[in-house]
Amino acid sequence: MTEPANERPVSVALGLGGLLRVGGRTVAVADALTLLRAVQSAGSVQGVAGALDLSYRAAWERLRSLESGLGRQLVQKTRGHGSALTPFGLSVCNALGDASAGLEAALAREGRAVEARLVALFTEAPRRLAIAASHDLLLMEAVEALGGSEVAVLGSRDAVQRLLDGQVDVAGFHLGAEPLAESGVPFSDLADAATLRVRPVFEREQGLMLAAGNPLGIRAFPDLAGRRFRYVNRQKGSGTRLWFDRLLAEHGLAPAEIQGYGVEEFTHQAVAAVIATGAADAGLGARSAAERFGLHFLSIGWETYYLAASAALPPETLDGLIAAVAARAERSPGYKAPPRA
């Protein structure tokens, strides 16, 4: 009985391909790497045959064909000791293996994007979208309203790295007021990547969240220095933490001068809640979080929040999410549309 197409699991695994040309001879790269790795791992032609589900004769024929294609001996057979790669064969195996490892993350990322398209074709329904994102209230609300997505709340750096490694479909991140291309890895890897789409979604106002009424009279960022005020920080790798550290450097302050620098929370809401309960006096965060908890807000500046995805992901998938978030940003205090490119 034939399994209905909409019940078949769909998965995509992309691998190293291409051709290696030596003179007038052509060798398939993936086949060459598979054979060489099998010899290296099995240590005998019989082991290669078993690993590749070939007869002993077929395994030898494939090895001889590869040697003929490259014009050099690749395998050395020693009586009583099995078979091993020659120095030349080992060098070829390492070169191709390094190329495969270097492309592994990009291939995994593109494989996810192709899989998303094929799932929709086979099942007539989109695959659940995997999102890794720095925390933002509007984004979380929009994702929940749209449905069909799973969100992992991470720091901006980790979210982008997961996208680059092919572990998620979409990454949400922010960098403070710093341009994308000047933000260092992994953010700078997104700037000129032709295989990725990076879209600004909104601008968000960030600043110091302070106790209601600002009873301690904090007027400017440098006021945080010394032991008078208790600060609550964001986790390492978050966009807000990166911005805070840049602000310290700009004002010539050391982390040791900030009481509570090592106290970390993972969302804007969590930072606001700590201040609202009186456990801390200040923390850097979004105006929207400060207003939800009735806190005083001292503006530091505006930053751009981005969404990034593989260019192979169906365009309507990313565009639909961006439109939903942008619509909420238009009517929410502390947010505004990003500048047009």
Asked if 133 and 268 touch (Cβ cutoff 8 Å), the reply is no
Top pLDDT among 80 and 92 is at 92
Structure tokens at 90: 């080992």
User: Which DSSP letter does residue 196 get?
Assistant: E
- At residue 92, the pLDDT reads 94
Residue reference for tokens 């998938």: 317
What phi, psi does 56 have (nearest 5°)?
-60, -45
CATH, range 128-202+303-336:
3.40.190.10
Q: What is the mean pLDDT of residues 169-193?
A: 86
Cβ neighbours of residue 97 under 8 Å, at least 6 residues apart? 33, 37
Model confidence band, residue 7 (pLDDT cutoffs 50, 70, 90): very low
Take residue 151 and report the two structure tokens written for it: 């969100």
**What is the per-residue pLDDT for 341?**
58
* Under 8 Å between Cβ of 130 and 150: yes
Give the whole-number percent of the chain exceeding pLDDT 90: 62
| Residue the block writes with tokens 């500046």 | 301
Identify which of 314, 318, 303 has the alpha carbon closest to the alpha carbon of residue 177. Answer: 303
Count of beta carbons in the 10 Å neighbourhood of residue 7: 8
Q: For the segment 327-336, what is each residue's pLDDT rounded down to a tens digit?
A: 999 999 999 9
Band (77; pLDDT cuts 50, 70, 90): confident
The pLDDT value given to residue 224: 96
Tokens of 281: 């006096």
Q: Of 271, 273, 247, nearest to 260 (Cα)? A: 271
d(C-alpha 304, C-alpha 189), whole Å: 17
Report pLDDT for 6: 44
Write down the mean pLDDT value for the chain.
89
Pairing of strands 82-85, 75-78: antiparallel
Residue among 223, 201, 205 nearest 303 (CA): 205
Of the candidate CATH numbers 3.30.365.10, 3.30.9.10, 3.20.20.110, 3.40.190.10, the domain formed by 205-302 belongs to 3.40.190.10
Compute the Cα dihedral for 182, 187, 189, 195 and give only its sign: negative
User: For residue 317, what pLDDT band results from cuts at 50, 70 and 90?
Assistant: confident
Query: Model confidence at 152, in pLDDT bands (50, 70, 90)?
Result: very high
Residues 6+ apart with CB under 8 A from 58: 49
pLDDT value for 110? 85
Comparing 53-57, 98-102, 121-125, 194-198, which segment has the lowest mean pLDDT? 121-125
Report the pLDDT value the prediction gives residue 81, as an integer from 0 to 100: 77
β-pair partners for 152: 132
Query: Cis bond leading into 179, ω under 30°?
Result: no
Check if 1-127 and 205-302 are the same fold.
no
Report whether CATH 1.25.40.10 matches the domain 1-127.
no
Polymer length in residues for the chain: 341
- Of 179-183, 186-190, 316-320, which gets the smallest average pLDDT? 179-183
> How large is the average pLDDT for residues 149-154?
92
Q: How many CB atoms within 10 Å of residue 302? A: 18
pLDDT score, position 238: 92
Q: Which residue has the higher pLDDT, 239 or 194?
A: 239
Rounded to an integer, what distance in angstroms lies between the CA atom of residue 274 and that of residue 282? 9
Q: Are 231 and 283 in contact (CB under 8 A)?
A: yes
Confidence of residue 15 (pLDDT cuts 50, 70, 90): confident
Q: Are 62 and 55 contacting, i.e. CB atoms less than 8 angstroms apart?
A: no
Least confident residue range of 3-12, 39-48, 118-127, 325-334: 3-12
User: What does the pLDDT look like over 211-237, one tens digit per residue?
Assistant: 999 999 999 999 999 878 999 999 999
d(CA 2, CA 5): 9
The CA distance from 10 to 72, in Å, is 41
- The domain limits of the chain are 1-127, 128-202+303-336, 205-302
Q: What is the pLDDT of residue 313?
A: 86
Over residues 241-261, the pLDDT tens digits come to 999 999 999 999 999 999 999
